[in-house]
């Protein structure tokens, strides 16, 4: 059984007990424990069930590589599924439940899959569940979905908050073990701005656990001293509980800081996502121990040898009373010795190497531990907990020599450098034969814009295996990074460590070497996803030979640990099955993040109201106070209508239209894009941008203009006013302002960079208000201060001056067909001006109107609306806007495109008016349906409705549409199909329904 | 080809699964083929498959630079739908969707097509109108779609917050027979069926040159030697530009990285596919339990198959607003795929200036769902010289200005 020891536990505070629950059981741990350590201390080795076979799973590791110990942490709005117990700091009141079982962890019906495992090899689901056809969706898939998945799906919105930080540094050092500390120190001493981050709450990594001696003192003391030195440096920042999550192009790195996971309910953000720009990145990310592949290596109680040591030394927890150590390298001897020192029993060290004479082995023998060389484990006994192991010859087929009783197994298959961050942005690896691992190839580092390397590895992450090598490598890495960032490193020598002589490890990918199928189908490679040696071999046999195919076919390495423990073992088995060398087979791609990061942290603060913040016109508050029914337009809200008490929205719209047509209406047009284009080449620039000639526009005049994209399609429209010799003011659609501004900048910056033009988006600097209707002039005259008569301010003219005491620019333009003035005032004056207008307008029955009344009035006049009559496939010629296309200009954007044969051909869908025969409103978005079908069996469509409204002015439905050769078909009755496949008939008519001669606007 | 079935598995189980044959044979190039398909992704393999199945053309080689299915076939978000607006698009995507319905039986390989339903959220009035229009068009294109209201949206997808402060859900375009499939299995299933017809699938074989004589293709040079052919199909997405250059013509295609990510797996909580174009993100839950999330494309051209982080952030932020419960899930893995985009965001399935060379590319962000329809049409184009499914997607449409623009209704995401 696993239990708390009376001694050791360098990271825990035995004076502070913490209470927590696991599956409802009340348990106790100490401050400084991880959840995994506390569970082990309470003899809770069984913590979960595997993904596919629902096999019992115990704690395997002590860090972020843990594949098994995943729990539902917390409850309700603080429930987090799939949280690793090994990286969860214990806190008072923590609640955790185990995952993926029914009805309970101890008894799981899903375990039936385990008895059927023989029938459920890798990829079995590709070969079955094929018939009958409906059964996949309705029978098989729901069953599979239900038994798959791991943690519980949260039901509530997250109670916590998250934030983003930005950092700009010379050198980012990722990993706060001795390598990271030394690299940071070397870079810091050179004067570089250094950020050193460590994912654990404590510094120093493995060295203090392993008993390393640095500069003649215990690693623990060296770490303390070095930390002190780093903290004293102003140019060095230290952050623990912060993982290097990803490395991206150009020295961009993500840091994931778990600020308050261990203090839930505090007012701190739960996580912080750091977006770091670093000139150089040092990855001092250490190495991960590999499991060994022997039958039953997944039974709870089988653990990584380093993890066993961690639990004893760091937390004073013994994973078992009798632990068999099985290894192919020297390091696991440290675990055996550590257990022995803690007063625990190590019945045997099983070493696959035929002869071991290293000092560590000698020490083990001296400590009275039996060492069996050339041997392996044939099989682990037990189901929910190890009860013993069967010993065999490594070279053989697994005949049992002897059975040894034990309640834990510590295994070590060698170490793989953590190369993830190195690889994220293209760093390449080389195979290290001696240590049987992939390590970064310094000659093929990730490179920046100039081809310069921007990532350097340090310590075990480079493949260094002893403390001395680690420190030397890290020192060099820190200095190299500082140098590359433009600093001169100091000439301090790297710290020295006591020698750690060891014997070479022996790569072993299967134990025993000649294991039978029955053994191989019990050798786990991927513990969480239940991928075994036999599965990888099956994939290879079936031709899934690429390592990517094997991964995808077997799901090897696709679990939440992303293959940290399984990748190398898996591809070694694959290489063996294919008869190829491991480096030839290669690895799968390492993708960010290193370990999973919360969606909340990625989303950051921008939630609720501040998710894409609302844009408000200066008059927004007034609209709100006056009962506006809103319509979102881009990031703006615009009043759709202003329903009065007892009035429906539709009734309000009709009232607004009639009031504007008969008397006078007021529209907040502030959202209209207003872009100033200025400079000696502004006219030339606008001539290229618009289909019209803008350079000839006279100062004081306005012109309606069209903009097309390179493909000739109409993209925006609006009125352009010439302000002075060098200045034009371009109005765009509300939704188009930012896009058109970017469009202008793109052309100026990439194509016409030598033209002398500046553009500025002044949309928010002005409030713009349209006063519309027969009484519009009277209202303005009553306001006073400016002559707004027809003679002084004719249609399509503008002038500047004082209006009712306000600085105003008044445009005589109309989108309704009525006498209309659009008046721009400084944004700060917008509300006051609006209110002043409302006050003087009262005598004329003035009422505000919203966007829907605007739309109806423009449709009554046959004016097109970008986004209604256009959809990115319509050219101005389709809309009868030939008059707005200059014939004189040599070029404009879209001209060449419009000359192409299909566009130049008049045989196109063109703008017409549409009227139903009974005056009803034609359904929106419907298509004109002809007789017969096309070659693909689709009904023949020859037109569509683009805008359709009830016209209160005319008392009947009106519509606009694009119809094949429409203008030539006036009077023809055609039919439109509705989504329920019924038909409505309509007559093709002129698109101008109201005031065809334009008498009303030009008065 | 040994048939796959539960019975076959049971039989093999007693034999320790030692009797399974290779899903597709390992092949070395022959001297000459009737047709060489370059690119063993979904589209290339489907093209070869229907060449054999529909036209009896089986002397076919499929050449693959890397591993089969390793491009966008194996890195998309597996959404299948056909609710497109324009006639030619609706035709080819609906053909594809209908072929997905029977693909597992057809290939004797479970591709796990799951018609769980796809909804595209309307979160502005403009989108409402756009999707109603699409529903109106689909009704006469033989595509089963429906515009549904917010209450029905909530009923179909209870984890959704339909009353978000910024973009409340106003409705959705719902395609009940849209869904997802297992992307890798589509490539593997086709590969197995092609191999069974005697076609050669040759991996790790990069085309280094295209040979033509008198304006007619005669063969290709590869890293495994020269291979002759009568016809050549380039089906390698954005890399078609390179092949075209080898053959001496140019293609109007740009390549950009598209971002995707998955969460850690959780128990089932979402039965439908949701796409939200206004806030920019789409999400479904895989059979394994992972939330599969798609995002936007980078603004710059590249081939790196990774990509930047800011789009991930934008997408996740939008989805946390739409599905507040995902906030405490964790992102397991992000990756990039290179999407090849044309001027009208529609694909190219076309003859080329070199006789005998055909090109299939430009699927942009929407290729996976089209695989069987694309292969079906492409095979007909190669065998007969034209196909109603592909006729409108010819290269000439760019010089004629006869675009098939879906951005109208589809917004950005496919």
Q: How many residues does chain B have?
A: 414
The string of DSSP letters for A552-598 reads HHH-TT-STTTTTTTHHHHHHHHHHHHT--HHHH--PPP-S-SS-EE
Same-domain check for residues B166 and B219: no
In a domain, B7, yes or no: no
Decide if A93 contacts A42 (C-beta within 8 A): no
A139-181 residue pLDDT tens? 999 988 988 888 999 999 999 999 999 999 999 999 999 999 9
Provide the pLDDT confidence category of residue B412 given band limits of 50, 70 and 90.
Answer: very low
Q: Which residues in B lie closer than 8 A to residue A978 (C-beta atoms)?
A: 136, 139
Decide if A961 contacts A970 (C-beta within 8 A): no
User: Which pair of tokens denotes residue B255?
Assistant: 């390549």
A882-907 residue pLDDT tens? 999 999 999 999 999 999 999 999 89
User: Which pair of tokens denotes residue B296?
Assistant: 């936007």
Same-domain check for residues B217 and B130: no
A895-1003 belongs to which CATH class? mainly beta
Same-domain check for residues B354 and B406: yes
**Domain A162-288+417-484 fold:** FAD/NAD(P)-binding domain (3.50.50)
Residue matched to tokens 């006073």: A784
pLDDT at B414 over 50: no
Measure CA A755 to chain center. 39
Same-domain check for residues B233 and B287: no
Out of A114-128, A944-958, B97-111, pick the least confident. A114-128
pLDDT at A534 over 90: yes
Euclidean distance between CA atoms B239 and B237, whole angstroms? 5
Query: Number of structural domains, chain B?
Result: 2
pLDDT at B409 over 60: no
Decide if A523 contacts A536 (C-beta within 8 A): no
In a domain, B92, yes or no: no
Out of A632-636, A824-828, B192-196, pick the least confident. A632-636
Tell me the whole-structure pTM to 2 decimals: 0.95
Q: How many CB atoms lie within 10 A of CB A653?
A: 27
Decide if B327 contacts A606 (C-beta within 8 A): no
CB pairs under 8 A between A and B: 337
Distance from CA of A825 to the nearest CA of B (A): 28
Euclidean distance between CA atoms A485 and A463, whole angstroms? 24
Beta carbons of B140 and A938 less than 8 Å apart = yes
Q: Could you tell me the CATH number of the domain that includes residue B131?
A: 3.30.9.10
- Backbone dihedral region of A149: left (phi > 0), alpha (psi from -120 to 50 degrees) or beta? left
User: Which pair of tokens denotes residue A47?
Assistant: 């913590």
Q: Which residues in A lie closer than 8 A to residue B308 (C-beta atoms)?
A: 248-249, 252
Residue ranges of chain A that CATH labels 3.30.1360.120: 620-671+765-858
Decide if A474 contacts A459 (C-beta within 8 A): yes
Provide the pLDDT confidence category of residue B166 given band limits of 50, 70 and 90.
Answer: confident
A165–B contact, CB cutoff 8 A: no
The torsion of the CA quartet A183, A186, A192, A197, rounded to 10 degrees, works out to 30
Residues near A21 by beta carbon (within 8 Å), at least 6 away in sequence: A27, A94, A95, A96
Q: Domain ends where: B308, B342, B376?
A: B342
Same-domain check for residues B334 and B402: no
A604–B contact, CB cutoff 8 A: yes
Phi, psi dihedral angles at B77 (to 5 degrees): -100, 15
A194-233 residue pLDDT tens? 999 999 999 999 999 999 999 999 999 999 999 999 999 9
Residue of A410, A412, A413 whose CA lies nearest to A347: A410
Residue ranges of chain A that CATH labels 3.30.70.1400: 673-764
A600–B contact, CB cutoff 8 A: yes
A580-601 residue pLDDT tens? 999 999 889 999 999 999 999 9
Beta carbons of B109 and A602 less than 8 Å apart = no
From the list B142, B306, B408, which residue is nearest A872 (CB)?
A: B408
Same-domain check for residues B131 and B200: no
Residue ranges of chain A that CATH labels 3.10.20.440: 1-157
In a domain, B392, yes or no: yes
Q: Determine the 3-state secondary structure of A607 from DSSP.
A: coil
Provide the pLDDT confidence category of residue B410 given band limits of 50, 70 and 90.
Answer: very low
A351-375 residue pLDDT tens? 999 999 999 999 999 999 999 999 9
Query: Looking at residue B413, what is its pLDDT?
Result: 35
Query: Looking at residue A681, what is its pLDDT?
Result: 98
pLDDT at B13 over 50: yes
DSSP H/E element including A38: helix A35-41
- In the sheet that holds A665-668, the strands lie side by side as A798-803, A806-811, A820-826, A766-772, A665-668, A847-848
CA angle A11, A13, A19 (to 5 degrees): 110
Q: How many CB atoms lie within 10 A of CB A753?
A: 8
Beta carbons of A148 and B265 less than 8 Å apart = yes
Q: What is the CATH number of domain A291-413+502-518?
A: 3.50.50.60
Average the pLDDT over B106-113 and give the result.
97
pLDDT at A344 over 50: yes
Euclidean distance between CA atoms B290 and B269, whole angstroms? 10
A1-157 belongs to which CATH class? alpha beta
CA A771 to each of CA A122, A832, B340: distance values in angstroms, whole numbers, following the listed order: 73, 15, 49
Decide if B202 contacts B27 (C-beta within 8 A): yes
Task: Identify the CATH homologous superfamily for domain A620-671+765-858.
Answer: Probable tRNA modification gtpase trme; domain 1 (3.30.1360.120)
Which CATH code of 3.40.50.2300, 3.40.47.10, 3.30.70.1400, 3.10.20.600 fits the domain covering A673-764? Answer: 3.30.70.1400
CA angle B210, B211, B214 (to 5 degrees): 135
Q: Which residues in A lie closer than 8 A to residue B6 (C-beta atoms)?
A: 127-129
Euclidean distance between CA atoms A5 and A317, whole angstroms? 5
Measure CA A367 to chain center. 53
Phi, psi dihedral angles at A127 (to 5 degrees): -100, -5
H helices within B108-149, ranges in order?
Answer: 125-141
A133–B contact, CB cutoff 8 A: yes
Provide the pLDDT confidence category of residue B408 given band limits of 50, 70 and 90.
Answer: low
Same-domain check for residues B273 and B325: yes
Expressed as residue numbers, the domain containing B378 is: 25-78+183-252+344-410
Euclidean distance between CA atoms A414 and B412, whole angstroms? 48
In a domain, B230, yes or no: yes
B329-358 residue pLDDT tens? 999 999 989 999 998 899 999 999 999 999
In a domain, B265, yes or no: yes
Phi, psi dihedral angles at A702 (to 5 degrees): -120, 155
Query: Looking at residue B411, what is its pLDDT?
Result: 39
Beta carbons of A599 and B112 less than 8 Å apart = no
Residue of B nearest to A162 (CA): B327
Query: Looking at residue B17, what is its pLDDT?
Result: 95
Residues near A618 by beta carbon (within 8 Å), at least 6 away in sequence: A670, A767, A827, A828, A829, A830, A831, A834
A425-480 residue pLDDT tens? 999 999 999 999 999 999 999 999 889 999 999 999 999 999 999 999 999 999 99
Beta carbons of B87 and A597 less than 8 Å apart = no
CA angle A586, A591, A592 (to 5 degrees): 150
Residue ranges of chain A that CATH labels 2.40.30.110: 895-1003
In a domain, B318, yes or no: yes
Same-domain check for residues B269 and B403: no
CA A998 to each of CA A721, A795, A861, A995, B207: distance values in angstroms, whole numbers, following the listed order: 21, 11, 9, 5, 66
Same-domain check for residues B241 and B348: yes
Euclidean distance between CA atoms A180 and A227, whole angstroms? 11
Q: What is the CATH number of domain A523-584?
A: 1.10.10
ipTM reported for the complex, 2 dp: 0.96
Q: Which residues in A lie closer than 8 A to residue B25 (C-beta atoms)?
A: 543
State the DSSP code for A610: G
A715-738 residue pLDDT tens? 999 999 999 999 999 999 998 999
A98–B contact, CB cutoff 8 A: no
Average the pLDDT over B224-239 and give the result.
97
From the list A126, A552, A936, which residue is nearest B388 (CB)?
A: A936
Beta carbons of B112 and A712 less than 8 Å apart = no
Q: Domain ends where: B327, B342, B357?
A: B342
Q: Could you tell me the CATH number of the domain that includes residue B222?
A: 3.50.50.60
Euclidean distance between CA atoms B257 and B335, whole angstroms? 9
DSSP H/E element including A832: helix A830-841
In a domain, B3, yes or no: no
Query: Looking at residue A591, what is its pLDDT?
Result: 93
Q: Domain ends where: B321, B342, B363?
A: B342
């Amino acid at each position: 059984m696993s239990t708390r020891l009376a001694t050791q536990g360098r990271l825990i505070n035995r004076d502070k007990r913490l209470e927590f629950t696991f599956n409802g059981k009340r348990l106790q741990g100490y401050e400084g424990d991880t959840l995994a350590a506390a569970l082990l201390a309470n003899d809770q080795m069984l913590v979960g069930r595997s993904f596919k076979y629902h096999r019992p799973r115990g704690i395997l590791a002590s860090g972020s590589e843990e594949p098994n110990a995943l729990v539902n942490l917390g409850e309700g709005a603080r429930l987090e599924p799939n949280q690793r117990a090994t990286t969860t700091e214990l806190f008072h009141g923590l609640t955790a439940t185990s995952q993926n079982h029914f009805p309970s962890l101890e008894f799981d019906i899903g375990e039936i899959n385990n008895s059927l495992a023989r029938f459920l090899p890798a990829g079995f689901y590709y070969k079955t569940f094929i018939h009958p056809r409906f059964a996949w969706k309705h029978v098989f898939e729901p069953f599979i979905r239900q038994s798959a998945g791991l943690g519980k799906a949260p039901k509530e919105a997250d109670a916590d908050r998250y934030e983003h930080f930005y950092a700009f540094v010379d050198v980012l050092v990722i990993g706060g073990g001795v390598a990271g500390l030394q690299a940071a120190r070397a870079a810091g001493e050179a004067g570089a701005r250094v950020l050193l981050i460590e994912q654990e709450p404590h510094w120093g990594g493995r060295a203090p656990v392993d008993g390393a001696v640095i500069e003649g003192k215990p690693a623990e003391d060296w770490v303390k001293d070095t930390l002190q030195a780093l903290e004293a440096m102003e140019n060095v920042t230290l952050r623990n509980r912060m993982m290097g999550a990803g490395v991206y192009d150009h020295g961009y790195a993500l840091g994931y800081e778990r600020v308050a996971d261990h203090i839930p309910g505090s007012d701190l953000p739960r996580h912080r996502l750091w977006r770091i720009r670093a000139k150089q990145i040092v990855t001092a990310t250490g190495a991960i121990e590999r499991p060994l592949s022997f039958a039953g290596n997944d039974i709870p109680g089988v653990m990584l040898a380093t993890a066993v040591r961690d639990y004893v030394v760091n937390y004073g927890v013994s994973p078992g009373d009798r632990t068999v150590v099985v290894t192919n390298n020297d390091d696991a001897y440290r675990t055996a010795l550590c257990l022995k020192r803690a007063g625990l029993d190590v019945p045997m060290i099983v070493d696959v190497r035929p002869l071991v004479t290293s000092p560590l082995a000698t020490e083990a023998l001296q400590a009275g531990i039996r060492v069996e060389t050339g041997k392996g484990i044939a099989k682990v006994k037990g189901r929910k907990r190890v009860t013993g192991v069967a010993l065999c010859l490594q070279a053989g087929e697994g005949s049992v020599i002897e059975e040894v009783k034990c309640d834990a197994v510590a295994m070590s298959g060698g170490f793989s450098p953590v190369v993830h961050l190195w690889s994220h942005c293209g760093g390449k690896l080389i195979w290290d034969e001696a240590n049987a691992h992939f390590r970064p190839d310094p000659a093929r580092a990730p490179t920046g814009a100039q081809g310069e390397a921007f990532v350097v590895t340090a310590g075990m992450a480079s493949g260094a295996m002893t403390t001395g090598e680690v420190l030397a490598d890290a020192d060099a890495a820190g200095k190299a990074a500082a140098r590359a960032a433009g600093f001169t490193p100091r000439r301090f020598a790297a710290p020295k460590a006591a020698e750690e002589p060891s014997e070479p490890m022996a790569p072993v990918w299967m134990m025993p070497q000649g294991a039978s199928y029955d053994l191989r189908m019990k050798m786990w490679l991927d513990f969480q996803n239940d991928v075994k040696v036999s599965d990888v071999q099956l994939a290879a046999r079936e031709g899934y030979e690429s390592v990517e195919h094997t991964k995808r076919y077997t799901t090897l390495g696709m679990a939440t640990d992303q293959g940290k423990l399984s990748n190398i073992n898996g591809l070694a088995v694959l290489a063996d099955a294919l008869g190829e060398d491991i480096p030839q087979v290669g690895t799968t791609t390492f993708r960010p993040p290193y370990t999973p990061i919360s969606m909340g942290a990625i989303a950051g603060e921008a939630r609720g109201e501040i998710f894409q913040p609302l844009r408000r016109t200066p008059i927004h508050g007034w609209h709100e106070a006056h009962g506006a029914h809103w319509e979102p337009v881009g990031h703006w809200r615009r009043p759709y209508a202003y329903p009065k008490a007892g009035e429906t929205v539709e009734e309000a719209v009709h009232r607004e239209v009639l009031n504007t047509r008969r008397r006078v209406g007021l529209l907040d047009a502030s959202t209209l894009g207003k872009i100033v284009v200025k400079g000696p080449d502004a006219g030339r620039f606008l001539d290229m941008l618009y289909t019209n000639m803008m350079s000839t526009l006279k100062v004081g005049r306005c012109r309606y203009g069209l903009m097309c994209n390179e493909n000739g399609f109409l993209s925006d429209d609006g009125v352009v006013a010439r302000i002075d010799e060098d200045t034009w003011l371009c109005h765009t659609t509300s939704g188009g302002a930012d896009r058109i501004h970017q469009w202008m900048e793109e052309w100026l910056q990439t194509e016409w960079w030598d033209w002398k033009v500046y553009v500025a988006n002044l949309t928010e600097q002005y409030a713009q208000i349209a006063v519309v209707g027969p009484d519009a002039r009277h209202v303005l005259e009553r306001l006073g201060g400016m002559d707004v008569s027809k003679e002084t301010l004719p249609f399509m003219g503008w002038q500047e001056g004082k209006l009712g005491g306000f600085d105003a620019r008044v445009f005589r333009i109309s989108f309704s067909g009525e006498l209309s003035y659009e008046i721009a005032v400084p944004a700060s004056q917008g509300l006051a001006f609006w209110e002043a207008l409302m006050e003087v307008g009262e005598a004329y029955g003035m009422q505000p109107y919203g966007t829907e009344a605007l739309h109806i009035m423009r449709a009554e006049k046959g004016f097109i609306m970008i986004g209604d009559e256009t959809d990115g496939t319509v050219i101005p010629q389709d809309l009868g806007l030939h008059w707005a296309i200059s014939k004189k200009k040599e070029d404009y954007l879209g001209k060449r495109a419009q000359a192409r044969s299909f566009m130049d051909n008049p045989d196109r869908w063109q703008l017409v008016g549409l009227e139903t025969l009974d005056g009803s409103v034609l359904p929106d978005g419907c298509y004109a349906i002809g007789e017969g079908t096309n070659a693909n069996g689709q009904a023949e469509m020859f037109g569509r409705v683009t805008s359709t409204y009830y016209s209160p002015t005319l008392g009947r439905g009106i519509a606009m549409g694009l119809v094949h050769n429409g203008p030539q078909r006036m009077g023809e009755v055609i039919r439109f199909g509705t989504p329920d496949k019924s038909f409505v008939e309509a007559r093709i008519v002129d698109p101008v329904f109201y005031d065809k001669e334009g008498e009303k606007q030009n008065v | 080809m040994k048939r796959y079935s539960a019975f076959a598995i049971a039989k093999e189980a007693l034999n320790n699964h030692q009797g399974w044959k290779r899903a597709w044979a390992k092949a070395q190039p022959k001297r000459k083929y009737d047709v060489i398909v370059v690119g063993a992704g979904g589209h290339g393999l489907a093209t070869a498959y229907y060449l054999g199945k529909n036209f009896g053309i089986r002397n076919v080689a499929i050449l693959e630079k890397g591993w089969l299915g390793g491009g966008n076939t194996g890195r998309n978000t597996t959404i299948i739908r056909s609710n497109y607006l324009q006639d030619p698009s609706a035709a080819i995507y609906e053909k594809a969707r209908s072929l997905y319905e029977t693909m597992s039986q057809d290939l004797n390989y479970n591709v796990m097509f799951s018609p769980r339903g796809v909804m595209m959220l309307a979160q502005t009035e403009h989108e409402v109108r756009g999707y109603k229009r699409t529903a109106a068009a689909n009704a006469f294109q033989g595509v089963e779609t429906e515009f549904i209201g917010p209450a029905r949206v909530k009923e179909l997808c209870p984890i959704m917050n339909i009353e978000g402060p910024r973009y409340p859900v106003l409705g959705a375009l719902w395609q009940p027979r849209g869904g997802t499939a297992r992307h890798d299995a589509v490539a593997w299933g086709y590969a197995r069926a092609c191999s069974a017809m005697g076609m050669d699938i040759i991996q790790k074989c990069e085309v280094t040159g295209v040979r033509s004589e008198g304006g007619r293709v005669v063969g290709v040079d590869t890293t495994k030697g020269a291979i002759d052919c009568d016809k050549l199909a380039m089906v390698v997405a954005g890399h078609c530009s390179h092949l075209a250059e080898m053959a001496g013509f140019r293609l109007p295609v740009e390549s950009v990285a598209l971002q995707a990510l998955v969460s850690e797996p959780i128990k089932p909580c979402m039965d439908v596919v949701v796409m939200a174009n206004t806030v920019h993100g789409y999400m479904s839950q895989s059979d394994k339990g992972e939330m599969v999330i798609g995002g936007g494309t980078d603004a710059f051209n590249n081939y790196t198959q990774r990509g930047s982080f800011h789009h991930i952030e934008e997408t996740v932020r939008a989805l946390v607003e739409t599905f507040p419960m995902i906030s405490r899930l964790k992102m397991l893995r992000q990756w990039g795929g290179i999407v090849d985009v044309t001027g009208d965001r529609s694909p190219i399935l076309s003859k080329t200036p070199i006789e005998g060379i055909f090109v299939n590319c430009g699927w942009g962000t929407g290729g996976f769902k089209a695989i069987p329809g694309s292969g079906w049409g492409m095979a007909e184009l190669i065998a007969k010289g034209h196909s109603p499914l592909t006729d409108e997607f010819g290269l000439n449409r760019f010089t004629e200005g006869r675009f098939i623009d879906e951005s109208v209704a589809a917004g950005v995401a496919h």
